[in-house]
Structure 1
Amino acid sequence: MSYLQKPWLKYYDSRIDEQVSVNYDSLFDLLKQASNIHSEKPALTFLGRSWTYKETKTISEWFAASLYRVGFKKGDRIAIMLPNCPHYIFSLFAAFRLGGIAVQVNPMYVEREIEYVLNDSEAEYMIVFEALYPRVKKVQPHTSLKKIFVVGFGGSKTQLAEGDIYFDEFLTHDNIIPEMPIDINEDVAILQYTGGTTGVAKGVMLTHQNLLANINQVCDFTYNAVDEKPENLKIISVLPMFHVYGLSCNALSAIRIGGNQLILPRFDVNEVIELIKQEKPFQMTAVPTMFFALNSHPNLEESLIDEIFYLNSGGAPLPVELIKLFEKRVRVRLNDGYGLSETAPSAISTPPFLPRKLGSVGIPLPGTEARIVKETAEGYVDVPVGEAGELILRGPQVMKGYWKRPSETMEVLKEDGWLFTGDIAKMDEDGYFYILDRKKDIIISNGYNVYPREVEEILYQHEAVEEAIVIGIPDSYRGETVKAFIKLKQGAVVSSEKLIEFSKIYLAPYKVPKAIEILDELPKSSVGKLLRRMLREKEVHKLGI
């Protein structure tokens, strides 16, 4: 048996096509068609108010028209730094309507990180939550930002600088916009910033086609084989929209199926439990730490979570023990999947019709090819089925490349379209895939990527630090916890606590080391290279894993 035979196809329900088709002219056309079909149905529900599909399209067009009048043109970048809210959707589709590029900015970023993303993307427009506005203003003089739009959720408004304006005040209630020709295969719709072992964040270029293909793949896999769907299908939208997992697999997919997104600006376990009780959603997608929190809640059994048709986890490895404990309490299947920013993001999943294998992330989505390879003197070759190697993927959801980084694009994206993921995996004889480890040193904490080199560079900025190594150590709640090892300069004195406080100034909370250990010497190779692997193995051994 070979990977090219796609053994997983025998598990496809008869209502699932082997390939995926895209019948949209652009991402805005996705909303346009949904509005035509579901006009008066609720599309977005947030803080006690709902917006219909017609209203969602109208407000998006108003924002697009307003942007057009102040000079926004095709290819321009607009940075979005918002928590989950309807304005995120309005802003995205306004950019899509004009052929612009939405730059995803994590609301947890500190000034240094915001400045980097704005400069790398060369964004001239930005929409930001009012509580985060001061951060953006601090870095604006060092960026290309010309116009800032501010979103508030009610209450007293922040005093804005001259030239900046609140979203609602900026809107002009018309949709006079020229048609913008979109080449769905070439035109970039989103820049999703991700990193690597170099510590340099890279903008993943996702085209209209990449996202539309993945939306259709996810929706076909999840819903085509469902016999009965409720008329008012509700989806909990608590995954962050600033990450492509929450955006594509949740927010945009909900629009594709005409669902009502129950939007939460942040994850609060009590709010989620109460929302499930009140609204009885059809689907909920989350990261493992959210399921950890739910599983620790004393009233989980009374939440009616067992009435949710499809529960799916992604963004980080899902421990088998968590699945067992969770399902023992609520008796509903918890499914796992795999993806990455470079695949918009979903590539492999466990749809409702698929018999599950614990520990597996499932089978490839329609139109997706997957192989396990190893490097030899003659090049890359497939490893035998059941053996470990690097997972490579090919499909319409695979990114166009990294923004302004052709050489780094060529390192992972080969001429024949195969994306080298850097993840170690295996496939069994039935075509189920298992993620074993990461070839890269990326740490995944609470579902977020943390890049050791970036944290190390911040630690090196402290006057007392001579050498630094940052690793991820297994954590039953977060997936992994960030830990740093430090060698101090001769004669320097500083405590671990002070170094952690120093890190908090320059890093988003999830990147800050939870523990710092100061050592006399850090392990090195014969050529003086710091050995991250040795420290990680030592920590794993301590934990008895």
Structure 2
Amino acid sequence: MSTQLPDFPLFSNIIKQAAEGNNVAIDDSRLKTSFTYSQLLAAIAHLVSLLKKQKSDIKGERIAILCPSGFPYVVTLLSIWALGGIAVPICTTHPLPEQIYSVQESQSSLVIGHPVFKDRLDEIIKETKLDFLEVQDVPVTEQVHISTFSADLDASALIIFTSGTTGKPKGAVLTHRNIDAQASCLTKAWYWSAQDRIHHILPLHHIHGIVNALICSLYCGATVEMYQKFDAAAVWSRWSDPELPKLSVFMSVPTVYAKLIQYYKTQDEETQEKLTKACKQFRFMVSGSASLPTTLRNTWRKLSGGQVLLERYGMTEIGMALSQEYVIWERVEGTVGIPLPGVQVRIMSETDNKDITELRDTPGTLQIKGPTVFKEYWQRPEATKKEFTEDGWFITGDVAQRVGQHGYYQILGRSSIDIIKTGGEKVSALEIERELLSCDMGIQDVAVVGIPDPEWGQKVSAVVVMENGKELDLQTLRNQLKKRLAVYKVPALLKCVPELPKNAMGKLGKAILWYAKLNKNHLGVSDNEGSNGIGCIRVTDSNKVKRYPRSHSVCSQANIAICGFWGQQTIPSVPKSNGSKQTDQPGKLMENSPTLVGVASTALQTNPQPTQEATLVTSQKQPMPSSSAGNLPATVGKVNQFKMNGNQYFIISQLQNSFESAQVACSSSGSVLGAVNFADMQNLSNELKNTIAGKVIVGSWNGDSYSLQGSSCLMLDTQLGIFPGNCADADAVLCQL
């Protein structure tokens, strides 16, 4: 078989490695098989041939990938690039709506998938009506003749979806030149070679897993040992197995290192010595995607026998921009080092937009320029333009400063959430987090956020996860921190929680904590309706929602209304969620229940009509009460359905202000947003997967406790959406039919 590949440095290096050393390229843990660089080229040639038969030309086409981490993924990615296509990696663990969003938003014309995900692929193809090509595990053994042709490095190569604090995920487009520049600067700075073997556990829909770990390895002829998921016991077992090839590189996130430490601490002394010895095989270990706590850094250094985790700074749009020195003694705690080769970095004053890069201990906005910076957001020219200065610098949104004799860069956090403005002072949440973890108070994990306050602007607030058996009160925390920090930096609020919400890359959803962990009422926001905070939420994408005040135009688009009533009414018995009857349950008294939310079109009226005629789905007729209604229809206590203006509506009249009656109220509707009725995580997970994007839900809620101890609940955040939490932390209930 004869195949032509583009003359990009990545392909040229792979061809050279196959001809000269033919090292192992991919060691696939799922298949328990190793593949050489020659076998990789043969597999690429085979898939390229299949692609040409299915689609004669994919140049510039977006091709979605849904494959497990391993050899098939690598072959698929490189085959798409070989034919000039733009790869769109899909997260294997995302719910169906998010996967479909990525496929449709990128305007993909073909989905390449692996039979491991057959059921999910069937759903995606059914929904999108796209062509599909299955990639197999069977290795290609025939000999191939490879030649190269001149190709455009500035052609688009990859779309990675990234989302900020608001809005739908945006597709960041990287060119082959971007990828080459990123891989080139990292292999130089971190001294990659063909003798390296990396333990790869990172997701392959992020820049960290794709470029830093995979492409860098292939770029220099190293071996990538690939795993589908992280498991602490399995990682330690692999590292300490003397029969397996030695590893030299490991990259991950602070959360993973924390879990490895937890496992280490559960072992006996003899096993710990064995695990410590196993760490010595690595020439360097990297921590990224989130700030590295001081205690974690120090603990890892001690248990690993001297491994100082290398910290770097980057993001999807720019790749890696800053890195600590490769030499261990130059890695300064709390910094991310210096600019990588070929990357331009500057710090601009937030007040007068002056370049303050050469100053020390002077915070400003971090901006990046160079060949590593992405091309654009897919089909979003205005969003792209907004992220760049007039002279071509990318605005990262992070605040940074240079510190010390060598001027190492220190990231103070996202200007939108990690910089807290309290009493006229600007405070770095990351600095406070480092100090909290450095204190001997038994804090295992922490997030510092700013909570809106009418007097101070924002109050510095700490959300902590304590070690087993440890407790902490606010006064103790403040006494400890006053010895280390200026008083205005010391947290004024404290909340202890079982765990902090983090995504697949270990990044903390801090905005979640504003509402779910510290705010008194995380569902309702005071509105014209009063403290009950009547409003609506829109399911924008899979498990993400946005909340709007009741007067917002979005609420007028609602096709589901969730209603409660003022006054005292007795709730009759209702069916359980499994369909069985609750025959003996007495009615509960409704007192101070949320106001009825009427038809959305009446929301903007000061005095809505007392009643509106509506046709029930059951073909019965019944007046729909307004928020001022005092007399309820005889059928109160049941879930009524009706249609109006082509939309389907529901009335739930059982919304209560105690968790017992809230449970009853929602049991007949099947699911809940914000509180009860999820007895286990599987049910909750299923609900997230089945959420329909674009749905608008109008509801009313207040700050009373609608909690059910011991069950999993969905918590609502106005920026980041829905996430799982403990019902005991819920402040309101919102039923969804």
* Category of TM-score, reference length = shorter chain: 0.7 to 0.9
What does 1:475-514 correspond to in 2, within 5 Å?
A: 492-493=655-656, 494=662, 496-498=675-677, 505-506=687-688
Give the match for residue 382 of structure 1: 356
**Cα distance in 2, alignment partners of residues 102 and 488 from structure 1:** 49
**Cα distance in 2, alignment partners of residues 411 and 300 from structure 1:** 51
Deviations 1:41-78 (A, max 9, x none): 11111233111111111111211121012114211222
Give the match for residue 302 of structure 1: 274
**Cα distance in 2, alignment partners of residues 53 and 348 from structure 1:** 31
Aligned pair in 2 of structure 1 residues 489, 436: CA closer, same or farther (>3 Å)?
Answer: farther
Q: Is contact 2:115–2:134 with CA below 8 Å preserved after alignment?
A: no
- Taking only the aligned residue pairs, the percentage that are identical comes to 25
Worse overlay, 325-334 or 110-119: 325-334
Aligned pair in 2 of structure 1 residues 91, 532: CA closer, same or farther (>3 Å)?
Answer: closer
Match of residue 34, structure 1, among 17, 21, 25: 17
1:204 correspondence with 2:172: yes
1:110 correspondence with 2:104: no
Q: Is contact 2:323–2:337 with CA below 8 Å preserved after alignment?
A: yes
Deviations 1:423-447 (A, max 9, x none): 1221124231111121245985352
1:244 correspondence with 2:212: no
Match of residue 324, structure 2, among 350, 358, 370: 350
1:319 correspondence with 2:293: yes
The alpha-carbon deviation at position 174 of structure 1 amounts to 8.2
Equivalent residue letter for 1:302: K
Q: Which has the higher helix share?
A: 1
Deviations 1:495-523 (A, max 9, x none): 624488567533599xxxxxxxx8529xx
Give the match for residue 482 of structure 1: none
Give the match for residue 333 of structure 1: 308
Equivalent residue letter for 1:323: R
**Bigger RCO (CA 8 Å, 6+ sep):** 1
**Cα distance in 2, alignment partners of residues 222 and 503 from structure 1:** 40
Deviations 1:278-325 (A, max 9, x none): 332111111111111111123454131133110111121111110111
1:183 correspondence with 2:366: no
Equivalent residue letter for 1:73: I
**Cα distance in 1, alignment partners of residues 390 and 59 from structure 2:** 28
* 3-state SS of 2:99 partner: helix
**Cα distance in 2, alignment partners of residues 139 and 254 from structure 1:** 32
1:45 correspondence with 2:20: no
* 3-state SS of 2:545 partner: helix
What does 1:322-471 correspond to in 2, within 5 Å?
A: 322-331=296-305, 332-343=307-318, 345-353=319-327, 355-376=330-351, 379=353, 381-382=355-356, 384-429=359-404, 430-440=406-416, 445-447=503-505, 456-457=544-545, 464=562
**Cα distance in 1, alignment partners of residues 718 and 262 from structure 2:** 37
Give the match for residue 710 of structure 2: none
Deviations 1:341-389 (A, max 9, x none): 011x21111242261111112211101111222344x645437431222
Please, which runs of 5 or more residues in structure 2 have no aligned partner?
1-5, 419-500, 513-539, 549-557, 565-592, 597-652, 657-661, 663-673, 692-700, 705-716, 721-728, 730-737
**Cα distance in 2, alignment partners of residues 51 and 176 from structure 1:** 18
* 3-state SS of 2:38 partner: helix
* 3-state SS of 1:307 partner: coil
Aligned pair in 2 of structure 1 residues 70, 253: CA closer, same or farther (>3 Å)?
Answer: same
Equivalent residue letter for 2:302: K
Q: Is contact 1:244–1:341 with CA below 8 Å preserved after alignment?
A: yes
Match of residue 235, structure 1, among 198, 201, 206: 198
**Cα distance in 2, alignment partners of residues 184 and 123 from structure 1:** 21
Q: Is contact 1:65–1:174 with CA below 8 Å preserved after alignment?
A: no
**Cα distance in 1, alignment partners of residues 353 and 62 from structure 2:** 39
* 3-state SS of 1:103 partner: strand
Deviations 1:175-199 (A, max 9, x none): 69997652112x1111011112332
Q: Is contact 1:63–1:91 with CA below 8 Å preserved after alignment?
A: yes
Please, which runs of 5 or more residues in structure 1 have no aligned partner?
1-22, 151-165, 467-486, 510-517, 522-529, 534-541
**Cα distance in 1, alignment partners of residues 394 and 563 from structure 2:** 38
What does 1:147-166 correspond to in 2, within 5 Å?
A: 147-150=132-135, 166=136
Q: Is contact 1:289–1:446 with CA below 8 Å preserved after alignment?
A: no
The alpha-carbon deviation at position 448 of structure 1 amounts to 5.2
* 3-state SS of 2:91 partner: coil
The normalised TM-score by structure 2 is 0.56
**Cα distance in 2, alignment partners of residues 300 and 497 from structure 1:** 42
**Cα distance in 1, alignment partners of residues 183 and 301 from structure 2:** 28
**Cα distance in 2, alignment partners of residues 489 and 367 from structure 1:** 60
* 3-state SS of 1:280 partner: coil
Aligned pair in 2 of structure 1 residues 263, 66: CA closer, same or farther (>3 Å)?
Answer: same
Give the match for residue 124 of structure 1: 109
The alpha-carbon deviation at position 488 of structure 1 amounts to 7.3
The normalised TM-score by structure 1 is 0.74
Equivalent residue letter for 2:45: E
**Cα distance in 1, alignment partners of residues 198 and 147 from structure 2:** 34
1:520 correspondence with 2:703: yes
Q: Is contact 1:110–1:506 with CA below 8 Å preserved after alignment?
A: yes
Q: Is contact 1:43–1:52 with CA below 8 Å preserved after alignment?
A: yes
**Cα distance in 1, alignment partners of residues 149 and 291 from structure 2:** 41
Equivalent residue letter for 1:445: N
Worse overlay, 314-323 or 499-508: 499-508
Give the match for residue 493 of structure 2: none
Q: Is contact 2:217–2:223 with CA below 8 Å preserved after alignment?
A: yes
Stretches of 4+ aligned residues off by more than 6 angstroms: 171-180, 458-462, 530-533
**Cα distance in 1, alignment partners of residues 258 and 111 from structure 2:** 34
The alpha-carbon deviation at position 210 of structure 1 amounts to 0.5
Give the match for residue 262 of structure 1: 225
Give the match for residue 59 of structure 1: 43
**Cα distance in 1, alignment partners of residues 295 and 375 from structure 2:** 37
Q: Is contact 1:79–1:104 with CA below 8 Å preserved after alignment?
A: yes
Aligned pair in 2 of structure 1 residues 144, 346: CA closer, same or farther (>3 Å)?
Answer: farther
Give the match for residue 274 of structure 1: 237
The alpha-carbon deviation at position 211 of structure 1 amounts to 0.6
Equivalent residue letter for 1:215: A
**Cα distance in 2, alignment partners of residues 348 and 208 from structure 1:** 21
Give the match for residue 515 of structure 1: none
**Cα distance in 1, alignment partners of residues 563 and 380 from structure 2:** 31
Equivalent residue letter for 1:46: D
* 3-state SS of 1:204 partner: strand
Give the match for residue 489 of structure 2: none
The alpha-carbon deviation at position 397 of structure 1 amounts to 0.7
Q: Is contact 2:183–2:215 with CA below 8 Å preserved after alignment?
A: yes
Give the match for residue 52 of structure 2: 68
Deviations 1:2-21 (A, max 9, x none): xxxxxxxxxxxxxxxxxxxx
**Cα distance in 2, alignment partners of residues 420 and 488 from structure 1:** 44
Give the match for residue 159 of structure 1: none
Deviations 1:126-185 (A, max 9, x none): 2224343222322324325212315xxxxxxxxxxxxxxx5659x896869997652112
**Cα distance in 2, alignment partners of residues 55 and 172 from structure 1:** 7
Deviations 1:397-445 (A, max 9, x none): 1100111111000111234331111112211242311111212459853
